[in-house]
Amino acid sequence: MLFTVIRQNNYQDSINLMLLTNAINEVEGVTKSQIMMGTDANKDILLNVGLLSDEAKSASPNDMVIVVDAESEKIMDGVLSKIESFLADLSVNEAKDQTKEANSWDEALSLMPDANVALFSIPGEYGAPEMETALEKGLHVFSFTDNVSLEDEIRLKKLAHEKGLLMMGPDCGTGIISSIPIAFTNVVKPGNIGIVGASGTGIQEVTAIIDRLGGGCVHAIGTGGRDLNEKVGAITVKDAIVALESHDATDVIVVISKPPAKAVRDEVVDLLQSCQKPVVAIFLGEKPQAHEGNVYLAHTLEETAKIALDLAAGNPVKANYDEAISLETTEVLEPQKTVKGLYSGGTLAAEAGMLISEALELGGLIKKEGYILNTKGYEVLDLGDDMYTQGRPHPMIDPEVRIQKIREYAAEEETGIILLDIVLGYGCHPDMAGALIPVIEEVTQEAKINQRPLHFVASVVGTLQDPQDYNKAVESLKGAGVIVADSNAQAVKMALQLKGIHLTEEDKIILPYDKVLSPLPQVDLKVLDLLHTKPRIINVGLKSFNESIQKYGGESVQFNWRPLAGGNKKMIKLLKAIEKHEASIDAANEEVIGRLKAAQPFLIDVVPAKSVIPELNTDHKTLLHAGPPITFEEMTGPMRGSCIGASLFEGWASNETEALELLASGDVRFIPCHHVHAVGPMGGITSANMPVVVVENRLDQTRAYCTLNEGIGKVLRFGAYSEEVVNRLIWMKDVLGPTLSRAVKLTEEGINLNVIIAKAITMGDEFHQRNIAASLNFLKEVAPYIVQLEMNEQDKRDVIKFLADTDQFFLNIMMATGKSMADSARQLQKGTVVTALTRNGKNFGVRISGMGDEWFTAPVNTPKGLYFTGFSEEDGNPDIGDSAITETVGVGGMAMIAAPGVTRFVGAGGFADALAISNEMSQICVSHNSNFSIPTWDFKGTCLGIDIRKVIATGITPIINTGIAHKKPGLGQVGAGTVRAPLACFEKALEAYAKSLGIDVDSLNSN
């Protein structure tokens, strides 16, 4: 049975998830499992292994997908427990790490303004746009990330060249910059040798041999395996060669290449001949007969290292670096016995395949289905090939695939020798030799029992400084009967010697190079800075890559990357197109934010709604409602109940039946509150004679209106319409409203709401779910004036007691305040700042500053939270109300950290979760409002200016604190919680805004 769990917005590194998958597959009762992020590429993998469930299909690239094929549902308890433990261990390790972390490029660059390198280890399908961003920001790129298209690689490398930057990669596994080991790399002593390598393990093998023989390297610049492809044209190789020629501390230049295109190879050699420094080059697959001019051509990686060492020491280059191989055994295998190579490194596999093919005249290398060589029973596999690593960790990390292949090959009658590489260094398995030895001993013993000769020959790629123990690896392999060589080339020669074949190298002479040399191009200062200083790296992806950088003197900031726009390729293209207008949009947004910050809201009156809203002062029966436009037929229970209550209050009907008939008849006009400068909580229903607060933003005299808060429980805003509810509304119309109006008019200028808000936020209010402090501060302001009024004393006491008892009274004042702020900013008609968030029980609506009155809607979500006794989530109505105007201006759920007392009530969990939420919300906002500083947030101002670009880019949607109404009319509030705005609203807004900029959105979508 398939069981699926989706962890939304829980991005985890792919390698960690691969290792976690292996651990879960060991759980008893699990047939197979796969844990990965919900990208399209990963869904294809799930499909191929029969684990793509319907739930998994709906996951986003930011969702962690857990699919388990298990015998019973009970097994899932153990599986989920193991997953929690694994992720908890990761969290503990991360907590110990002191690396500074960022969640965006801007944040990363603010933490390290002088950064000069971006190190990528993210999924390839998202790599190119992010690398382009890094290059545009003036950063060299080191791309461990692979699966980038050839077209994108060419484009990125041309862009880097134009900007005077190095594009190292894609698929660049290893690097050394100013003696700092980067990515999957060995720790090599500093020295005077500089390397340019179009591979990973090729660099590792050469640098490790140099180190073990007493030399050192200052740089090893990876270029990726396709740089010498004819279409790429060796852009990075050439730039790196010129850079090393200009680098004073580099005395010898080494070039390592997989089989290159002939024309490109010749261009590179021409460039190398123009260098004044001695050069060693190896083009794997070639068997050079002589050196040429200034370029010493090697046949093997070992020879490459030894020539470089002599040149670095000022010694003459020898005619031959071949050394005699001595084996402890004199056994010669039968002719039918063959050699099998199981390599974790592609370059080492290529070298092995080349040497075996040359010795046995097998016709050269192939590159097909993971094979480097597959002729006459001789097979060399690159287990790092995509076909073996899809959905699995690289074989340098995880021995599982190699263990399977060892068993498979050892069982074949023709197998006489199995070749292995054991790669050490950062990023690799902590003890690969120890992981493979049990299976080596197992199959060797089986072969002895069956009287079959079987030999293992291995080389260990590593140095004495590596985090693993090089000597221990060598000795433990020997202890298990493995023949261990000092290099991969020697290992192949030993394997062939067991077959009675002695592979030797011919002497090389130096031939003159008679072509006309061209002068070398100038090196950009940004490249010289990279080579002359310790790297300052923004690490985008695997956190473990920080370890080697920081330990050996480099600097790094961790960019906790997630797929841009949740992996939505349409939105990614839109964001990139809009990015070209970034300066003007940012300037517009700053102007909008300036208006929001400069707002001067004052409560100036409380009046009947019809006296300030002309649309209610007509003969046509009219009701205002919350959210974007909606018909009565579409309304959910609470809003319908509120309409019934308003009809009874206005005297349009005498009972529920008459009210429903009237409302369904079409004789009542429905208008969104937002269309008439008003807002209404929950159902939002506002009728002509209901009293409303009048808030004036004295920045520009923008006015906004909202009904008075009724208290909690069975109230009109939650859809209740009993006699008690209607009588309260009548009292508010006849007593509360007029009393407050007279009291406010006794003040000199009205009540300054900025002051009340600033005070209350320091006392634990967030102005949506919690308004206790603000309500009491309001009472403190208004009570002295109420006391002065000449009115019925009982009415006076009732008003003061109602205000004292109604903890949420200030909510409605805050809503009108937010509306006055947002409407003032919206008049600018520019930028991407959100100016309204609202919901009507069916749809969620968004407005943005640059698109004026236009609504962008999507189906609304149902809140998650705590329910009153006797109610559950099944009773909850989809989200409803204009009260999200508070979040629009940065309070409410956006300021969760301000109200630790309310976090548990709204389902946030506790202070740490509230802090995390406010930190998350700040990622989608332009600025902070210094008018409302939060003590529990180190006095940081509330978030301000939700930017739809940031919402789309991060996939983070605003969180809203909300009450929960019963879905049936008349039952009122049943709980409180939080709800997320649907992403689709913001996507629609972004698309419309892009069109307003003249961007051909349809063309982008078709590409």
Whether pLDDT at 627 is above 60: yes
Q: Which two tokens stand for residue 724?
A: 């008690």
**pLDDT value of residue 576:** 87
Which long-range CB contacts under 8 A does 856-860 form with residues at least 24 apart? 856/985, 856/986, 856/988, 856/989, 856/992, 857/628, 857/985, 857/988, 858/982, 858/983, 858/984, 858/985, 858/988, 859/982, 859/984, 860/979, 860/982
What pLDDT, on a 0 to 100 scale, did the predictor assign at position 60?
81
Q: Distance between CA 333 and CA 327 in Å, rounded?
A: 14
Pairing of strands 252-257, 217-222: unpaired
Tell me 736's DSSP state.
Answer: I
pLDDT at 90 over 70: no
CA distance 734 to 749: 24
Q: How high is the pLDDT of residue 906?
A: 58
Residue 991 confidence (pLDDT): 95
Q: What is the pLDDT of residue 14?
A: 72
Chain length of the chain = 1007
Task: Render 839-879 in DSSP notation, one character per residue.
Answer: EESSEEEEEEGGGTT--EEEEPPPPEEEE-TT--GGGBPPP
In this prediction, residues 709-735 reach a mean pLDDT of 92
Residue 690 pLDDT grade (very low, low, confident, very high; cuts 50, 70, 90): very high
Question: Is 820 a residue whose pLDDT tops 60?
Answer: yes
Q: Cα dist. 612→198, 391, 600, 976 in Å?
A: 73, 63, 20, 32
CA atoms within 13 A on the CB side of 871: 20
Least confident of 56-60, 114-118, 575-579, 838-842: 56-60
Q: Quickly list DSSP for 882-932.
A: STTHHHHTT-GGGGGGG-TTTTTTTT--SHHHHHHHHHHHHTTEEEEEEEE
Q: Give the separation between CA 876 and CA 867, rounded to whole angstroms.
A: 9
Kindly tell me if the per-residue pLDDT of 329 is higher than 60: yes
Mean pLDDT of the chain: 92
Query: Left if phi > 0, otherwise alpha if psi is -120 to 50, otherwise beta: which for 687?
Result: beta
Helix (H) or strand (E) holding 1005: helix 1001-1006
Do residues 55 and 4 make contact, with C-beta atoms less than 8 angstroms apart? Answer: yes
- Of 971, 977, 714, 963, which is closest to residue 866 (Cα–Cα)? 977
Q: Are 840 and 860 in contact (CB under 8 A)?
A: yes
Q: Does 908 score more than 70 pLDDT?
A: no
Cα distance between residue 168 and residue 170, in whole Å: 7
In the numeric block, which tokens belong to residue 664?
């369904």
- More confident call, 262 vs 40: 262
Q: Which residue has the tokens 């480097």?
A: 372
Which has the closest alpha carbon to 167: 259, 105, 238, 217?
238
User: For the ranges 195-199, 297-301, 644-648, which has the lowest average pLDDT?
Assistant: 195-199
pLDDT at 97 over 70: no
Give the residue among 836, 612, 808, 821 at the shortest CA–CA distance from 705: 612
- Per-residue pLDDT band for 47 (boundaries 50, 70, 90) equals confident
Judge contact between 27 and 78, C-beta under 8 A: yes
DSSP summary character for residue 419: E
* Strand stretches in 531-573, DSSP E: 536-540, 555-559
- Residue pair 52/43 in contact by the 8 Å Cβ criterion: yes
Q: How confident is the model at residue 92 (pLDDT cuts 50, 70, 90)?
A: low
Whole-angstrom distance, CA of residue 47 vs CA of residue 2: 13
User: Which residues lie across from 836 on neighbouring strands?
Assistant: 847
Helix (H, G, I), strand (E, B) or coil at 180: strand
Q: Give the pLDDT confidence score for residue 904 in this predicted structure.
A: 64
C-alpha span between 692 and 684 (Å, rounded)? 12
Q: pLDDT higher for 746 or 562?
A: 746
Checking DSSP bridges between strand 601-608 and strand 751-752, what pairing results, if any? Answer: antiparallel
Tens of pLDDT, residues 596-620: 999 999 999 999 999 999 999 999 9
| Position 240 pLDDT exceeds 90 | yes
- DSSP for 745-768, written as a single string: HTSSS-EEHHHHHHHHHTTT--SS
Tell whether the model's pLDDT for residue 93 goes beyond 60: no
* Mean local confidence (pLDDT), 282-288: 91
Token representation of residue 210: 């140099």
pLDDT of residue 96: 56
Which two structure tokens, joined as six digits, stand for 48? Answer: 């191929």
* Residue-by-residue DSSP string for 627-687: SS---GGG--HHHHHHHHHHHHHHTS-SSHHHHHHHHHHT-SEEEEGGGGTEE-STT--B-
Of the ranges 91-105, 373-387, 711-725, 807-821, the best mean pLDDT one: 807-821
Residue 143's nearest CA partner among 718, 101, 599, 153 is 153
Among residues of the chain, what percentage have pLDDT more than 70? 98
Provide the sign of the torsion angle of the four alpha carbons 583, 587, 590, 592, taken in this order.
Answer: negative
Residue 743 has what pLDDT? 97
**pLDDT tens track for 963-1002:** 888 888 877 778 888 899 999 999 999 999 999 999 998 8
- What average pLDDT does this structure show over 921-934? 93
Name the pTM for this structure: 0.77
Q: Are 542 and 524 in contact (CB under 8 A)?
A: no
For residue 699, name the pLDDT band (cuts at 50, 70, 90): very high
pLDDT at 905: 59
CB 882 within 8 A of CB 837: no
Give the separation between CA 347 and CA 535, rounded to whole angstroms. 26
Distance of CA 133 to the CA centre of its chain: 15
Confidence of residue 332 (pLDDT cuts 50, 70, 90): confident
pLDDT in tens, 507-543: 999 999 988 888 899 999 999 999 999 999 999 998 8
Q: Could you tell me the two tokens for 344?
A: 């974790």
Q: Is residue 543 within 8 Å of residue 86, measured between CB atoms?
A: no
**Residue 962: per-residue pLDDT:** 86
Exposed/middle/buried for residue 749 (C-beta within 10 Å: 0-12, 13-18, 19+): exposed
